[in-house]
Structure 1
């Protein structure tokens, strides 16, 4: 045990945040899975143990990811992109359909499935970090830099948006932030945003889930005129938050878990506020803000452009997803299928989130080792001299 603790490197605050989120996840999921256990005809403890196994598996993956030098992810990113694009196509055609959306691929022989969009987020962010860091000398060259980068962003966006618009929009937003940090010109960023807007319009009005997207937008914009069945989830999330008060009803005393669909996943923040009150909700917001703060410190201290862009992209992705989930719960956005990172019950999504945490920790681990930074700078100077 002491040997493992000795080998744990990276930002200690991020490790603490992961532990806190794991504990919050176990408590809130345990409160929210009663109805799910009843529907499946199993005990609550059975589902909780599976969730605990996923958390432990995620932490193991995080440990392995943080031990790998983050520079290796530069080469891995190309392979991930080669795998991701065909997988997204395959998911749209042959993936499992849940709630009229084809987002999942079954893993043969395991009984598990995963959302290819989770892999796509990791692949695109690492690929953008690699491309932007390697093309800094000719970053404004349209043919050499802009077209390949824009093509990757728009391709992944449209393939995800056809089945999962909310995830696609968040990933597109993170990509634009990386383009800004990576010194892409304002004109080229504007072209990327225009292309994204055109694709978005096409998905909303012509895509296979156009009725669902239009209905959700209409329900959000005009809740008073919405069909009660359409606003059911949003209404009960608001009830959960309103009845939680300042201090909450107490652990395990939520009433809305019996009504809210996906209370253990998409709407888990509403359950947390109902049971732990406004104070619990604010504390959770503070944890994610502190995570963003620690990640920004890593970005500013990273000696290499690739490490800085990688940590920035992954941290923005995690925090934007967290605040999108909480915004939906309190009624600041239309209903989406976005889980709360490392808190919502989920299978492979938690594992991919853990890998993202591990990569951020790998960058911070490199910052903590001054010898590696000096050696890296000497090698880079030598390479430039040789060139």
Structure 2
């Protein structure tokens, strides 16, 4: 155990956050998958075991990602973008259709792969690379602005056609990176305008326009819609209301039997029902503390690429987590956004783990530089004392 801890580098608090969220995930998924196990005709423990192995796989990926020098991700980002765009197109045309959305690509062995998870990682790393390398010509429209705007808009529209909530969050993270990367206000306004036009087209003309409009109407006017349309949000609110301050206790949720996805989209409602207000606040604190630790990494990063990389990935993880919480408590329309490292999932857990690994890689590089600088200062002081 000590040997393993000795080999893990980077911010220790982030490692602790990952471990705590993983433990919470195992408890929540085990409690919330009883109905799912019954429908599939399998034991509840088998679903938990599969989830556990997926988290172990994510831990391995996080460890490998944090050992790799973060500067290598600049080159990897180009390859990821080359792969991501055709893969998103393929998913739209030939992917598995679930609930009217084509978000997954079937893999051998009955597994599925959600391409938007790869797209988030690809776009954030690519933007960090482009913004850091074009700082001298950052306001040049041809050299900097057009490639940046093109990549953001293309990825946004390809994801939005099947998964609008994920596309909007990724677009928001991209805008934050443009602000940090010193893109001019006029150029950011142009990107926002282009995004608004694309968003309007997707909502009014896209293949899922009826679903999007229905969800917005249900959220804005719940009293005017059928109970079937507000079923998920109603039972999520019931779970939260009955949880009280201290909750019903682990495994005692009742709304898990009514909520369609109590182990993923509405896992936050399940946690509050079982662990009460304290459990919900604790989850919020974990993600806020994660953002705080990542901001410290951003401020200490010696290179622009490392700072932008850590900022983009941490914003993405935090925004996604709070979007999941907002849907559960009724502060937003129903979406299919999982809570990072807590919700049950496949590719979501794996790519979230890689994102954590990259952040830790930046942190590890900072720590190594600080140790090297201290060593240099000691050598210089020693030489001065010898001369004296």
Would you call these one fold, judging by a TM-score over 0.5?
Answer: yes
The residue correspondences of 1:1-387 to structure 2 (distance < 5 A) are 1-107=1-107, 109-370=108-369
Alpha-carbon distance in structure 1 between the residues aligned to 2:371 and 2:175: 31
Q: Secondary structure at the match of 1:97?
A: strand
Moved over 3 A (4+): 371-374
Q: Distance in 2 between matches of 1:317 and 1:110?
A: 30
* RMSD of Structure 2 on Structure 1 (CA): 1.1
- The secondary structure found in structure 2 opposite 1:113 is strand
Residue by residue, what CA displacement relative to the aligned partner does 1:3-58 show, whole Å, maximum 9, x if unpaired?
A: 32211000000000000000000001111000000000000000000000011111
Mapped partners of 1:194, 1:371: distance in 2: 43
Cα deviations by residue, 1:206-255 (Å, 9 ceiling, x for unpaired): 00000000000000000000111110000000000000001000000000
8 Å CA contact retained: 1:174, 1:317:
yes
Structure 2: gaps (5+ residues): 374-388
Separation of aligned partners in 1, 2:297 and 2:192: 28
For residue 102 of structure 1, give the secondary structure of its aligned residue in structure 2.
strand
CA distance in 1, matches of 2:305, 2:14: 20
- Using the alignment, how far apart are the partners of 2:60 and 2:76 within structure 1? 20
- Cα separation, 2, equivalents of 1:356 and 1:136: 24
Contact 1:29-1:48 within 8 A present in 2 as well: yes
SS at match of 2:105: strand
Question: In structure 1, how many angstroms separate the alpha carbons of the residues matched to 2:55 and 2:83?
Answer: 26
The superposition leaves residues 304-325 of structure 1 with CA deviations (integer Å, 9 ceiling, x where unpaired) of 0000000000000000000000
- What's the CA shift for 1:110? 2.6
Question: C-alpha displacement at 1:373, in angstroms?
Answer: 7.2
Deviations 1:227-284 (A, max 9, x none): 1111000000000000000100000000000000011100000000000001110011
Looking at structure 1, the residues matched to 292 and 2 of structure 2 have their Cα atoms a distance apart, in angstroms, of 29
Give the TM-score normalised by the residue count of structure 2. Answer: 0.95
**Separation in structure 2 between the aligned mates of residue 141 and residue 150 of structure 1, nearest angstrom:** 12
User: How far apart, in 2, do the equivalents of 1:29 and 1:224 lie?
Assistant: 32
* SS of equivalent residue, structure 1 residue 219: helix
Q: Across the two proteins, how many residue pairs are aligned to each other? A: 374
Contact 1:101–1:164 under 8 Å retained in 2: yes
